[in-house]
Amino acid sequence: MARNGRAAGVSSALLVAGTSSDAGKSVVVAGICRWLRRQGVSVAPFKAQNMSLNAAVTADGSEIGRAQAAQAAAAGVEPEASMNPVLIKPTGERQAQVVVMGRVLTRTSAAGYQDLKDRLLPVVLDALEHLRSRFDVVICEGAGGVAEINLRHSDLANLGLARAASLPVVVVGDIDRGGVFASLFGSLALLDPQDQALVRAFLVNKFRGDVDLLEPGIAELQRRTGRSVLGVLPWVRGLEVDAEDSLALEAPRRAAPPVPGGATLLVTVVRLPRVSNFTDVDPLAAEPGVEVRFTDSVTELAAADLAVLPGTKATVADLAWLRSRGLDQVLSNRARSGKPVLGICGGYQMLGRCVDDAVESGAGPVEGLGLLPVETVFEPDKVLARPSGLAPSFGATRVDGYEIHHGRVRRHGGEPVFVVDGASGEGCRSGAVVGTSWHGVFESDAFRRAFCSWVAGVRGVAWIPGTGSFADAREARLDLLGDLIADHVDGAALLGLIDGSNVTAGATLPVVTTGLAD
């Protein structure tokens, strides 16, 4: 395989598709990227079209999916807009914001987005080619399920991309959900012959138990389809790469045990209908003795040591939902009794006196929860930045974050949470209520520990901070993903797909049918 640029006539890209959402595509792509990087291969991730409310900001101020940023970290490269040229951010049941090459293009309905796709395909292909011209290998991730036949005519991310860019495809199936053989076979059988010819192999993901028990099924699947199963990846706790789908919130989060002699802090995060950037609390969950739960329970929210109102792509709608569930009253009661409350981005906006939104919801001025002396006005231009500052009320610790928001928050009292180069500051703290527009602040180890120590002090909990680095913990998870590929996948066969050395064999792959007449 070439090490510096693409060799002539060699396919340097692979598409990892799935039988469904949350089958493990993002994890597999990250693992392959880390595995290739260890071999001295320059590699980049790519996802043509991502539907996610979890976003990251690149060094040049572009907005991409957080999963692609995590995959770039696995590859050891800086994330960039070309790695996720189209990002769809739902703002309601039928509306979404469309981000193209890192910048907002439009807001549209699901039907309207389908009309955009002819314009977006050249953008997607140009972005992919831009990466392929600079890296030895590009590992592409599909979206949703590979056999979304209702959307195939305008597909940008799965077989539409594979056909346009001549990409070999590996399909991942999640055995933890059950029915993996039917899912893999059925997904293949639903594709037309031209698309089937691009599907070269399968991967089984999240297996628990004795792999020998799978062998008869694997052998039969290979016999019926003519495609090999490259490997069986075991189910391993704690493999989370920055998730792009709120389905990830269904899985319970394991709490690291407290430092010996210390107690546990309980953090509850309001599970808003359109929650965004919920990965903000991942560093808290990695801290020893901090238990993080997502909930819409009044009782759980009231009992927590810290209640977090997270980001949202629909501040006004989720604020109304909050009130409809009585959660607003719980937060107000917490504030009056001095129990810590934290709002992040959209959650911060809700904590203020007023949200004036003529941009996303078109609702105009809406009364906020009134727990912080701030007001928010939405502007058409989105703020995209990666700020740094100090947290004067939390040990003057250094903090790095990122911003993605239309709302401009004006503070009319309280004190700033962060100070940037001696400026007036960002965020607001009033009593036990804290708000900030910055995402990712808990990745800064010293600030995370100072903040949790403050919560513990207010609550009278004998919590003891840990000493580990979240960045090191994330690197260890990415290394574990690379280990999974190295230990459980046929590496020679995988490299053969990537570098094109076994693509000619695809001409003999059988076309699979359901057995019914076409």
pLDDT tens figures, 251-305 = 556 678 999 999 999 999 999 999 999 999 999 999 999 999 999 999 999 999 9
Q: Do residues 35 and 90 both lie within one domain?
A: yes
For the chain, what percentages of helix, strand and coil (3-state, to nearest 5) are there? 35, 25, 35
Tens of pLDDT, residue by residue over 208-263, are 989 999 999 999 999 999 999 999 999 987 666 666 555 455 555 667 899 999 99
233 with 269, same domain: the answer is no
Same domain for 38 and 99 = yes
For residue range 437-494, list pLDDT tens digits in order.
999 999 999 999 999 999 999 999 999 999 999 999 999 999 999 999 999 999 999 9
Three-state DSSP string of 268-335: EEECCCCEECHHHHHHHHHCCCEEEEEECCHHHHHHCCEEEECEECCHHHHHHHHHHCCHHHHHHHHH
For residue 6, is it within any domain?
no
- Closest by CA position to 375, among listed 403, 402, 356: 356
Six-digit token string for 509: 């792959």
Determine what percent of the chain is predicted with pLDDT higher than 70. Answer: 92
Distance CA 57, CA 310 (A): 18
Pair (415, 282) in one structural domain: yes
Distances (CA, A) of 176 to 181, 183, 205, 236, 296: 12, 12, 8, 11, 26
Determine contact, residues 184/202, Cβ cutoff 8 Å.
yes
Whole-model pTM?
0.91
CA dihedral sign of residues 503, 508, 514, 518: positive
How is residue 434 annotated by DSSP? E
Instruction: Indicate whether 196 and 344 sit together in one domain.
Output: no
Q: What angle do CA 443, 90, 68 make, to 5 degrees?
A: 45
- Look at residue 516 and tell me if it is in a domain: no
Active site residue: 345, 406, 452, 488, which one? 345
pLDDT of residue 518 exceeding 80: no
Residues 186 and 53 in one domain: yes
Residue 134 pLDDT class (50, 70, 90 cuts): very high
The pLDDT > 90 percentage for the chain reads 82
C-alpha–C-alpha distance, residues 242 and 468, integer Å:
19
Tokens of 333: 């009661």
Nearest Cα residue to 201 out of 511, 476, 513, 506:
506
Do 320 and 234 lie in one domain? The reply is: no
Domain count, the chain: 2
pLDDT tens string 67-88: 999 999 999 999 999 999 999 9
Whether 451 and 479 map to the same domain: the answer is: no
Instruction: Say if 177 falls within a structural domain.
Output: yes
Find out whether 81 and 99 touch, Cβ atoms under 8 Å: no
110 pLDDT band (50/70/90 cuts)?
A: confident
Mean pLDDT of 102-110: 88
73 and 157 co-located in one domain? yes
Residue 94 is given by DSSP the state S
Same domain? For 362 and 437 the reply is: yes
Q: Do 456 and 484 belong to one domain? A: no
Interatomic CA distance for residues 26 and 72, integer angstroms: 11
Residue 248 lies in a domain: no
Q: Reply yes or no on whether 345 is catalytic.
A: yes
Which structural domain, as residue segments, surrounds residue 302? 260-465
Give me the catalytic one of 130, 405, 406, 439. 439
Active site residue 439: yes
Is residue 338 within 8 A of residue 432, CB to CB? The reply is yes
Supply the CATH number for residue 197's domain: 3.40.50.300
Q: Residues 443, 488: one domain?
A: no
pLDDT score recorded for residue 49: 95
